[in-house]
Structure 1
């Protein structure tokens, strides 16, 4: 007497096949896995070639110096997953930091000035979202226009560096906190700015990967028309991702200004490209529909560690950083193309 088995039961892999399926990375996670491998490889190479890379103080400085880039990359992740782009974040940092420091020096409450720095970014993101969603301007053009606007306003406010007062609470966000007292200078040191970046990553991870809004962001990146036909809030979500990106750019301005202790109109030039590169290196597809917040964090740390290795080497000119970044970015774009081609198959 024969027993009937369901097709799903017959198709379910068992034994070695099931184990292989579990450990084999999905296509969408392949670029992120590659970024992790590159990051670990850079650490191993740096330790072998220059030494003193795998140390608490080196890793602490890596986090402190790139906290603002991590925040920017998280914001860009939301935008790029929908298939958009935001070129204004570097200029937002310039206008936010200059305006905030000038207001503090003019006697404003420093905490109110810091809030205004974030809200300036929110305003820029809102305008970008309105242009893109309701006036149907291409994201590249809309955010490029906002980039020029932000950079111009920053130059109108001041062409000289604006220094943060020594006793300002803003500087406290850049103060180093010793978490672990190691031998000599090998300490674990963090700043409130790093903790802010960690909180942003945690909140963004939850929102993008665990909420209905996050699922809508992915659906828009997969097919905006299909997302609208499913009744998803496409307009609201597209607006929100640019508001998130702009607000996080304003927050990144607070974190960076606190660490540097000054602001000027040329701050943030090219940082939008660094943030985009970090996001792409971390596995977010430029075509939208796939990406990971933690992958963008890894991408930002890859760029930061690259600068550390170039500085340690001493023989590589700083100008080569952009060339190396471009090369790494090209590799990951080609990898993304291969993933998309495999998807279609």
Structure 2
């Protein structure tokens, strides 16, 4: 193994290891500081997944696109549009829960197809394309309805609120009853999606092609890869995951309104970068993105348990971590160039 290959492996693994260690350290600090208030309970850990199931799926899709060297800042608006579509179809349009879900997933794929075509075949910058997509999706959300629509569809709410209990990790409340930790189907869907995309990226030709394109597009062309087609497929996949993430987000809120999920795209980008995905493409891991989301959730838990801090401290802390990981990525890239 030459130095170049060795550093590449060490560098990628190092970024992922830093993210995982950071999460573990933060969570242990939380247990030490707020253990007497229930931070150490299994339910609190599961709440990180319950409240961020949609973001996990969105961050996974963002990671796929960022590995190709692209970006998608439209996902927050797509989530809002998906929630509003679901709410309107089930509450105003008389459409059942299952057809409504299928429609929004297809809409996500179409959204990804259009953006992917503009990026891959017309060579328009991903930032500009997805900026237009962000405005379009948010505008369509307000056209569907400018008022909040609460979802009362029985099938949808049953799926969204169905609790799956763990047979361990319970605690006795003040009334003497044992409360066992639970999670919702959204968590299972998010984690299954994560595993599937991890396998696709690591063990399939499509996944390896995405890394090759992000690493060096010209080299990928010389290897005979159809760069435009693969980029298009990556954006279609990301569009589908945006639709799915919007569905999971909607299951948490059971409503649709215009201002929903504002800044969601930045949370997804931050989670991916903190998870070790390079902004320049070619490097990334959905497992790291998962831990990036968990770090954000842990910071929010800190603020909730502390009780007096503003929720804006989440943004401030994420900004500091983002700067740290960008600098770390720059240092690794500099060493990588030196070893060439």
Residue 239 of structure 2: aligned partner: 246
User: Which of residues 144, 147, 150 is equivalent to 1:157?
Assistant: 144
Question: Unmatched 5+ residue regions in structure 1?
Answer: 1-7, 12-20
SS of 1:160's equivalent? coil
1:318 and 2:311 correspond: yes
CA distance in 1, matches of 2:157, 2:124: 37
Residues 1:171 and 1:326: Cα distance change in structure 2 (over 3 Å): farther
Q: Which residue of 2 aligns with 1:17?
A: none
How many angstroms apart in 1 are the aligned matches of 2:292 and 2:240? 21
Instruction: Classify the secondary structure of the residue corresponding to 2:27.
Output: helix
Q: Distance in 1 between matches of 2:157 and 2:134?
A: 25
Indicate if the aligned counterparts of 1:89 and 1:245 stay in contact, CA closer than 8 A: no
Deviates more, 1:187-196 or 1:171-180: 171-180
Equivalent residue in structure 2 for 1:232, among 216, 220, 225: 225
Distance 2:186 2:149 in 1: 20
What corresponds to 2:156 in structure 1? Answer: 169
Write the deviation string for residues 17-66 of structure 1: whole angstroms up to 9, x where unpaired: xxxx9xx9711121211111110111111111111322211011111111
From 290, 300, 303, the counterpart of 1:297:
290
Work out whether residues 114 and 170 of structure 1, in 8 Å CA contact, stay in contact via their aligned partners in 2: no
Q: 2:113 aligns with which of 122, 126, 131?
A: 126
Matched, 1:209 2:202: yes
Partner of 2:278: 285
Shift of 1:175: 2.4
Q: Is the 8 A contact 1:97 1:254 kept in 2?
A: yes
For 1:90-169, list aligned pairs within 5 A. 90-105=76-91, 106-169=93-156
Deviation larger for 260-269 or 207-216: 260-269
Name the residue aligned to 1:4.
Answer: none
Two-structure CA RMSD over aligned residues (Å): 1.7
8 A contact 2:61–2:237 mirrored in 1 = yes
Give the TM-score taking structure 2 as reference length. Answer: 0.92
C-alpha displacement of 1:166: 4.9
Q: TM-score, normalised by structure 1?
A: 0.91
Match of 1:195 among 188, 203, 208: 188
Say whether 1:64 aligns with 2:50.
Answer: yes
Going from structure 1 to structure 2, the CA distance change for 1:273 and 1:171 (only over 3 Å counts) comes to farther
Residues 315 and 42 (structure 1 numbering): CA distance in 2 closer, same or farther, change over 3 Å?
Answer: same
- After superposition, give the CA deviation of every residue in 1:169-211 in whole Å (9 maximum; x if it has no partner): 3541342211225223653312111010011011101100110
Query: 1:97: how far off?
Result: 1.1
Q: Would you say the 8 A contact 1:175–1:259 is kept in 2?
A: no
Contact 1:92 1:120 in 2 (8 A): no
Checking the alignment, whether the CA contact within 8 Å between 1:60 and 1:190 is kept in structure 2 is yes
Aligned residue in 1 for 2:176:
none
2:180 matched to 1:184? no
CA distance in 1, matches of 2:306, 2:9: 34
**Hey, what's the Cα distance between the residues in 1 that align with 2:184 and 2:296?**
20
Task: Give the corresponding residue for 2:13.
Answer: 29
- Relative to 1, partners in 2 of residues 1:254 and 1:170: Cα closer, same or farther, differing over 3 Å? farther
Between stretches 44-53 and 327-336, larger displacement belongs to: 44-53
- State how far apart, in whole Å, the 2-side matches of 1:188 and 1:115 are: 31
* Higher gyration radius (CA): 1
Q: What does residue 27 of structure 2 align with?
A: 43
d(CA) in 2 for partners of 1:263 and 1:171? 17
CA contact (8 A) 2:274 2:322 kept: yes
| Counterpart Cα distance in 2 of 1:154 and 1:75 | 21
Distance 1:169 1:94 in 2: 17
